[in-house]
Amino acid sequence: MSLPNKSTLFKNIQRSIDSRGEILSIVDQSVCNVSLITCSAGSIRSNHYHHSDFHFMYVLEGEIDYFFKDLSSEKIYYLKIMRGENIFTPCNEIHATYFPIKTQLIVSSKYPRDQETYEKDTVRVPLITTENISKMLQKYAHKE
């Protein structure tokens, strides 16, 4: 399966349900790193893009206000990502995350997550900040 070139909510794959429980596949792609990330209420993460890395972010608990835009455009998109949802972030797309409540994520990335590899592939862009988050939420979040 080819991956999209725009941030996309990914459907989880229900593999099985029986008396023992269930198996839900949240990433069915080759990845080099899986991280468990906890985000404090009111925190901002991301504000960057990757030259060639991608990642999936599965929300275990909490929620994400997710902003993204194409490198060649000024148009900003917004998605509200809730518990149990999975967002795919492609390379060369600016993305930023705001966590209105404590949130825990499983993040699966194409590349290893060591600092050297990560920094070499990452370009920082201040899409959302503590100064503009209220205005960004007013402008984009109400359009759902």
Alpha-carbon distance of 125 to 127, in angstroms, equals 6
Closest CA to 122 of 109, 132, 136: 109
Alpha-carbon distance of 89 to 4, in angstroms, equals 9
Domains and CATH numbers, the chain: 8-143 (2.60.120.10)
Tens-binned pLDDT, residue by residue, of the chain (144 aa): 688 889 988 888 888 888 988 988 889 889 999 999 999 999 999 999 999 999 999 999 999 999 999 999 999 999 999 999 999 999 999 999 999 999 999 999 999 999 999 999 999 999 999 999 999 999 999 764
Using an 8 Å Cβ cutoff, are 69 and 77 in contact?
A: yes
